[in-house]
Amino acid sequence: MKRLSAAEIATAVNGELYGIDPESLLSAGVVTDSREVGPGDIYVARRGENFDGIEFAAAAVEAGAALVIGESVPTVDDNPLPTVLVADATEALGQLARRSVEALRETGELRVIAITGSVGKTTVKDLTADLLAGAGPTVWPPNSYNNEVGVPLTALRADEETQFLVLEMGARSIGNLAYLTSLIRPDIAVELAVGTAHSGVFGSIDNTARAKAELVESLVAGSTAVLNADDSRVAAMREVLAADVETLWFSQRESLPEWVGADDRIVRATGISTDSSGHPSFALHLPGEEPQEVRLALVGEHHVGNALAAAAVAFACGVGVKSIVTTLATSSAASRWRMELIDSPSGVTVLNDAYNANPESMRASLKTLAAMGRGDEDSRPRRTFAVLGEMLELGDESVSAHSDIGELVVRLNITRTIVVGEGAKPIFNAANLEGSWGNEATWVATVAEAKELLGAELAPGDIVLFKSSRDAGLRYLGDDIAGVSGAQ
């Protein structure tokens, strides 16, 4: 956080000071969990559905917190603890992040990169951070900190030395991104894709597109919009850009879409292929540079688009082509359960992609599994297992979306499909109707039943994919089968 006085903080969050010298300077961390407080930190006592953070204020101060931001003034022995009294602690957190970033921009060379999209946000955030970290001090969220709490907390980790602040921004309703960008305006905004994820929340894919467009609408003159040329809804966002906002496209099509002009700048991949280990290779084309051959450390052809988006950001920030190529070839999944490839002690290869799921990412994961199972001139074919759970928040499209996946597993010749949970059952039903025979597809009600089946059937050399939305719990089963320490 930018060093600010207690009085400056109170002004920034529209609060009133108690129990602290207004001239006291604060520049340590900002936390919302009293258990994470360190010496000199600011503790933001948020009020949740099942807790009131102000109840832990005394413990936070005892642990070293220099200031509490809360909706009431906590006391010890009738003496007020050092507090900024505010109307809404969560809003105050955002206002403090806004003031800190504004102050850092006034005194330094901070550039803010914000990333959104229905799929790929976390992977692109991690890749982008890796690419920029070699060019200067970079701050990014360790996990999917992409909401009204996570984005400000990440921004408040930036200090006077930070050159790049990489933010992941999510939306669950129209207005979410407008709010987040009102707090921290990006210099570079990345639009990955408009898909069916959360369509049950937004009501339609067009509403999803409208919500996602709020990110690039926040850009001002001199900023850059990094847009996916292969997604027509993202491409249409060029029409909402303010004057003098630069567009930098990325595409993995061999033939460019009609809306990309001959003079437009674009980051491209051509000659895409995937080897038997699931790693994609392609020729990377950066504006004004000779094509460079890249083999991603990430697993799955769908990561080509993610790599292009991250490379576009790095290019816009002045990172050299050799550094971009080298980093893409060595940067693996930094966040858990995103196409995480693990060779288990039992000889089974586990592909754990069960943190998030929507129809687009489910199809991509299954195609990667099928490609890995086919083998090539250097490896023999392998049996493929797909353990699939429910894709949540699809609304009225849920049954048809799951049914489409059931048809796909048959067409891809997946050796064995185990469908887990009532919500995912249409996958199993559709697989049977599509032509699955014998026990190629099985439905079980619980994760425990799936574990029992896998224990009886998996053999050394097999590949097993775990894919579902987070709340289905399959990521922990994947850890268990992979022999990952701490699996639940």
**Same domain assignment for residues 368 and 454:** yes
**Same domain assignment for residues 202 and 299:** yes
User: In this structure, what CATH number is given to the domain that contains residue 453?
Assistant: 3.90.190.20
The confidence score (pLDDT) of residue 147 equals: 95
**Same domain assignment for residues 136 and 251:** yes
The confidence score (pLDDT) of residue 417 equals: 97
Q: 221 or 380: whose pLDDT is higher?
A: 221
Q: What mean pLDDT is predicted for residues 215-244?
A: 96
Pick the last residue of a domain from 272, 299, 329: 329
Q: Compute the radius of gyration of the chain from its Cα atoms.
A: 24
At residue 195, does pLDDT exceed 80?
no
The confidence score (pLDDT) of residue 118 equals: 86
218 labeled binding residue: no
What's the Cα-to-Cα distance from 131 to each of 214, 250, 288, 322, 367, rounded to whole Å? 26, 16, 19, 11, 27
Banded pLDDT at 40 (limits 50, 70, 90): very high
Banded pLDDT at 434 (limits 50, 70, 90): confident
**Same domain assignment for residues 278 and 164:** yes
**Same domain assignment for residues 66 and 179:** no
**Same domain assignment for residues 50 and 173:** no
User: In this structure, what CATH number is given to the domain that contains residue 210?
Assistant: 3.40.1190.10
118 labeled binding residue: yes
The confidence score (pLDDT) of residue 397 equals: 86
370: enclosing H helix or E strand? helix 359-374
415 labeled binding residue: no
pLDDT digits (tens, 9 = 90+) for 359-407: 988 998 999 999 999 877 777 899 999 999 999 888 888 999 999 999 9
pLDDT digits (tens, 9 = 90+) for 329-346: 998 866 778 888 899 999
Banded pLDDT at 200 (limits 50, 70, 90): low
**Same domain assignment for residues 294 and 344:** no
pLDDT digits (tens, 9 = 90+) for 124-180: 999 999 999 999 999 999 877 899 999 999 999 999 999 999 999 998 889 999 999
At residue 279, does pLDDT exceed 60?
yes
215: enclosing H helix or E strand? helix 205-217
Task: Provide the residue range defining the domain that includes 26.
Answer: 4-86
**Same domain assignment for residues 72 and 151:** no
Q: Which residue has the tokens 């937004």?
A: 202
**Same domain assignment for residues 126 and 74:** no
- Give domain status of residue 102, yes or no: no
Burial class, 176, CB count within 10 angstroms (exposed 0-12 / middle 13-18 / buried 19+)? buried
User: In this structure, what CATH number is given to the domain that contains residue 63?
Assistant: 3.40.1390.10
122 labeled binding residue: yes
SS3 of 443, please?
strand
What is the sign of the dihedral through the CA atoms of 74, 78, 82 and 85? positive
The confidence score (pLDDT) of residue 485 equals: 63
Number of domains in the chain: 3
208 labeled binding residue: no
Average predicted confidence (pLDDT) for the chain = 92
**Same domain assignment for residues 375 and 443:** yes
The confidence score (pLDDT) of residue 436 equals: 59
- Give domain status of residue 103, yes or no: no
Contact 68, 85 (CB under 8 A): no
116 labeled binding residue: no
425 labeled binding residue: no
Stated pTM of the model: 0.86
Pick the last residue of a domain from 291, 307, 329: 329
